[in-house]
């Protein structure tokens, strides 16, 4: 069930990125493109995060969460 929810999120995020890219291409040069660029940047970051989770890559492995960390180094 978790995988199905991730797949739906991945699809939704891909469509959002594609839509924002199309919106940016169709905007007039004098229009406020910065807001759309900011939304696009955030959507791409979310998409990449979902892809990493789908591929099984996480920033920290579970084993490193349970190892004691030294604060004196």
pLDDT tens readout for residues 20-72: 999 999 988 777 889 999 999 999 999 999 988 887 755 555 555 566 666 66
Is 24 within 8 Å of 37 (Cβ atoms)?
yes
Report d(CA 30, CA 44) in Å as an integer: 24
Name the strand (E) or helix (H) holding 55.
Answer: helix 33-55
Q: Is the model's pLDDT at 5 over the cut of 80?
A: yes
């Amino acid at each position: 069930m978790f995988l199905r929810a991730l797949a739906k999120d991945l699809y939704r995020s891909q469509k959002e990125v594609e839509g924002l890219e199309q919106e940016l291409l169709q905007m007039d040069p004098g229009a406020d493109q910065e807001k759309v660029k900011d939304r696009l940047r955030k959507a791409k970051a979310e998409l990449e995060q979902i892809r990493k989770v789908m591929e099984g890559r996480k920033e920290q492995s579970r084993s490193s969460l349970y190892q004691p960390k030294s604060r004196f180094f």
